[in-house]
Amino acid sequence: MAMVVQRHTSPGARLLRGNLHTHTSISDGRRSPEEALAFYAENGYDFVALTDHWRASSFDGERDGLLVIPGLELDGRDPALGAYHLVGLGLSDTPRREDVRSLGDAVGFVAKRGGKAILCHPYWCGMPSWAVVRSFGVIAVEIFNTTCEVTIAKGFSTVHWDDTLAAGRRIWGVAVDDAHWSRPDYGAAWVMVEAEERSVEAILQALCEGRFYSSSGPEIKDFAVEGRVARAVTTPAKRLAFVCDRHMGYCAYDETGRGITEACYTVPEEASYVRLEVDDYSGRRAWSNPIWLSDGGQTRR
C-alpha cells in the first residue's frame, strides 16, 4: 500500500502573497491607509491586512488590484499570562477597552465576530513560552516580526513556537511586517497562501488550515513527508534545516557556493513534528508550517 504524503501547499499551485500586520496614521503608523496600500500594491502583494491599534479598519475589498483584509490589533496585560498583543483578522468593529480584561476576552471578541486571532511578537512582549502554550483560541503566532527586529532585535519568536509545538499545541507560524513606516519595517516578511480564490473568506480559511508558508525572501517549492522521510525543494539556499521537537533535526548545507535546492531527512520515530527553515546567502529566511507525524497530520488546537 502506498504511503500517505503530507504537505501544506501543493507543488506548482498559485500562491497569494500577503502581509498580515500593518499600521497606518489611523493609529501610530506614519503613512495613511491609502499610502500603505499603495506601497503593497506597487510591490506585487496580493493582499494586506490593516490592523491599527484598537481601531478596526474601514477599508476592505479590492483597492487597485490589492485585496484588503480588515482587522485591528488589541493589547493588554492578562492577569495570568502577562503582557500580550493580538491581531484580529476579518473584523469591522472595535471593542471597548474596559470589556477586554484578558487575552481570553480579546480572543473571544474576535471569535464571536467570525474573525481569526493571531498572537503577536511574544519575544518583544516578554511572553515566556509557557504563556504562549496557554494562549488558547489563536490560529497562529508571529514567528518573525520585521519592526521588532529592526527596532530592538527581538523579531524572532521561533523558540516560543517550538516550545508550544513540543507541548502538543497545533499552531501555525506567520512572518509579518508590523509596518509603522518610521524605519525600514515594510516589505520584508510575508506569507504565501494557497487559497481557493482571492477573497477574504478563502484566505482566512487557508490560514486556519495552515495552507501557507512564511518568508523574508526564499521560496519553498515543495515540502512533504512520506512515511518518515521529509523532502524539501526550494530556491537556492545556504542551509536547509529540518526542525523537530527536542534534540532532533538536521541541517543540510550548500558546499558548492551556488546554493542547495533539495534535501531530505529521515525523521526519528520519536519526533512528533517536522518543519523546514530555508536560509539564503542574503541572510533571508523562509519557514514552513509543521507537519505532524504522530496522528497522520491531523490538526488540533
φ, ψ dihedrals at 297, nearest 5° = 80, 10
What is the C-alpha separation between 278 and 283, in angstroms, rounded? Answer: 10
Q: Would you state the pLDDT for residue 4? A: 67
- What residue spans define the domains of the chain? 16-214, 218-292
Say if residues 275 and 287 touch (Cβ distance below 8 Å).
Answer: yes
For residue 117, which phi and psi values (nearest 5 degrees)?
A: -105, 135
Q: Are 213 and 220 in contact (CB under 8 A)?
A: yes
How far, CA to CA in Å, does 160 sit from each of 120, 121, 127, 170?
Answer: 12, 10, 9, 13
pTM score, whole prediction: 0.95
CATH 3.40.640.10 corresponds to the domain 16-214: no
Give the span between the Cα atoms of 269 and 78, in whole angstroms: 38
Each of the 301 residues of the chain gets a pLDDT tens digit; together they read 345 689 989 998 999 999 999 999 999 999 999 999 999 999 999 999 999 999 999 887 898 899 999 999 999 999 999 999 999 999 999 999 999 999 999 999 999 999 999 999 999 999 999 999 999 999 999 999 999 999 999 999 999 999 999 999 999 999 999 999 999 999 999 999 999 999 999 999 999 999 999 999 999 999 999 999 999 999 999 999 999 999 999 999 999 999 999 999 999 999 999 999 999 999 999 999 999 997 533 333 3
16-214 against 218-292: fold identical: no
Longest alpha-carbon distance in the chain: 59
Give the pLDDT score at 178. 98
pLDDT of 64 reads 85
Domain 218-292 superfamily per CATH: Immunoglobulins (2.60.40.10)
